[in-house]
């Protein structure tokens, strides 16, 4: 059986014929986008038995990491790097399942707090164990390679201005 041709390599070849000065950047971005699709699919497959999307898992895990299990919704958006409306939607779905509660801050009623429940904490732990066991979808990748990828992607994040160069 012949190996499946790599569509990104073919796109790079085509770009190189037309816009050679941009071919490497196109291939890098396309590779990252495809890797994101593959990894999200694998991670969400692990989370599906728990009734969680990756976004919902991240919100639960973030709340579980806090000392009190409570964070302002705005701060959650900042830490999860998502739009406030996304946090509202995810927290609303988790609230319907009894995994988090929502209410005004006693210190400032304009601030809405999300608080993980006991059931939410338990589910976060179970889902975390499953993700850890799965190697986050890349168990076959050596840890040293994962460190290299993280560093390379930090350089990408720095090139876009999200973080400072190390």
- 97 part of a folded domain: yes
Asked whether the beta carbons of 101 and 119 are under 8 A apart, the reply is no
Q: Is residue 123 part of a domain?
A: yes
What is residue 165's predicted lDDT score, i.e. its pLDDT?
83
**How many domains does the chain fold into?**
1
Q: Judge whether 114 and 63 are in contact, CB under 8 Å.
A: yes
Say if residues 104 and 112 touch (Cβ distance below 8 Å).
Answer: yes
- Nearest Cα neighbor of 39 from 142, 151, 156, 136 is 136
Q: What does each of the 166 residues of the chain score in pLDDT, given as a tens digit?
A: 667 899 999 999 999 999 999 999 999 999 999 999 999 999 999 999 999 999 999 999 999 999 999 999 999 999 999 999 999 999 999 999 999 999 999 999 999 999 999 999 999 999 999 999 999 999 999 999 999 999 999 999 999 999 998 7
For residue 1, tell me if it sits in a domain. Answer: no
**Per the domain annotation, does 18 fall within a domain?**
yes
Is residue 148 a part of any domain in this protein?
yes
Look up the domain containing 22 and give its range. Answer: 7-159
Q: What CATH number is associated with residue 53?
A: 1.10.10.10
Residue 2 counted as domain residue: no
Give a yes or no: residue 96 inside a domain: yes
Nearest CA-CA partner of 16 in 7, 25, 4: 25
Q: Indicate whether 164 belongs to any domain.
A: no
Ramachandran class of 5: left when φ > 0, alpha when ψ lies in -120 to 50, beta otherwise: beta
Q: What is the pTM of this model?
A: 0.90
Q: What is the pLDDT of residue 22?
A: 97
């Amino acid at each position: 059986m012949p190996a499946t041709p790599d569509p990104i390599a073919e796109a790079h070849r085509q770009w190189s014929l037309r816009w050679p000065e941009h071919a490497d950047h196109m291939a890098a971005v396309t590779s990252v986008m495809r890797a994101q699709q593959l990894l999200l699919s694998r991670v969400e497959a692990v989370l599906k038995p728990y009734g969680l999307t990756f976004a919902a898992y991240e919100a639960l895990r973030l709340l579980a990491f806090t000392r009190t299990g409570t964070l302002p919704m705005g701060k959650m958006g900042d830490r999860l790097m998502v739009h406030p409306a996304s946090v509202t939607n995810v927290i609303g779905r988790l609230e319907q399942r009894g995994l988090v509660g929502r209410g005004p801050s006693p210190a400032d009623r304009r601030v809405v707090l999300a608080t993980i429940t006991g059931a939410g904490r338990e589910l976060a732990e179970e889902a975390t164990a499953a993700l850890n066991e799965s190697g986050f979808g890349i168990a076959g990748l050596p840890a040293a390679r994962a460190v290299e990828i993280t560093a390379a992607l930090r350089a990408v994040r720095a090139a876009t201005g999200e973080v400072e160069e190390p």
